[in-house]
Amino acid sequence: MKLIEKIERELDQDYAIVIDGPDYIAINEHESFNPASTIKLYILYAGLVAMETKKIHKDDTIEIKAKEIVPGAGVIQYLSARKYTLDDLLTLMIAYSDNTATNVMLDVLSIDYIQSIVESLGLKETFVRRKLYHMIPGVFNASSASDLNIILHHIYEGIGISKDLSDYGKEIMKKQQYKNIGAKLLTCARCKKIISDNTCTCGLYIGDVDPIMVPVYSKSGEITGHVHDACIIDIQGQPIYVTILTSRQKNNLETKEKLGKIGLMIYNHYKEVLC
């Protein structure tokens, strides 16, 4: 059975897929979705471009006012600290999907600036329109699997930014705590094979060591009925760009589990192809 057929058997309805590696697989790649937190990848890239042009600097410090703190994902709302560097904010925005950090970066850069960067890349299906938890009737952010795939390429390959800033962006993405596609990509510390239970086939009990995660650079996103992930899986030095967007899902937890299975399918498929 072909890889795409296996993936489609896992997903129910209302999804878009782009898998970009040795070959290119796409389904509904130009369909518009509410991107949830995957919109933060465009903010990250715009921040890197702004650093490239010296518009902002990593060590610039921002004081967050109490009225700027919003609920949902993130840790700033639980911390006493109110001053953060832009480096802190970008890291919190991606690694912990912090909504307050995201909104502050939208103020620092401006929505118009971020959208201008999106348009300069020729992306016609992405619209950064509002902050998170700032409800405006009928106004939503939007994106597509195709556009997210392109922004992944720009960050990972350093298109429009220096290698140092590309490496910086990748390092931030590698820290993301909420992995969907990459959730099951853990390898045994002894034999380096993917582990599927607590005891590896080589006999090592995984509880005795720290398993090693396959390098994954990612940003997930989730709201009720939507579970997304946009990531780069490093398979023996070969980047595999994967974006999956979903909507109208009956159970987010079940969909996240499916995305983890799909990530494992993709890894096993391309590991065999690349060997």
Strands 83-85 and 15-20, by their bridges, are unpaired
Least confident window among 64-78, 192-206, 257-271 = 192-206
**pTM of the predicted protein model:** 0.95
pLDDT at residue 43, as a whole number: 98
pLDDT digits (tens, 9 = 90+) for 79-98: 888 999 999 999 999 999 99
pLDDT at residue 275, as a whole number: 65
Domains and their CATH numbers in the chain: 3-274 (3.40.710.10)
Which 3 state secondary structure label does DSSP give 67? helix
With beta carbons less than 8 A apart as the criterion, state whether 151 and 42 touch: yes
| Residue whose entry in the numeric block shows the structure tokens 């902002």 | 56
Q: Using CA atoms, how far apart are residues 172 and 269, in angstroms rounded to an integer?
A: 27
- Mean pLDDT taken over the chain: 93
Residue 113 binned pLDDT confidence (cut-offs 50, 70, 90)? very high
pLDDT of 75 over the 90 cut: no
pLDDT digits (tens, 9 = 90+) for 2-34: 898 999 999 978 999 999 999 999 999 999 999
Q: Using CA atoms, how far apart are residues 10 and 15, in angstroms rounded to an integer?
A: 11
Residue 258 binned pLDDT confidence (cut-offs 50, 70, 90)? very high
Residue 246 binned pLDDT confidence (cut-offs 50, 70, 90)? very high
Structure tokens belonging to residue 26: 């796409």
pLDDT at residue 94, as a whole number: 97
Structure tokens belonging to residue 209: 């060591």
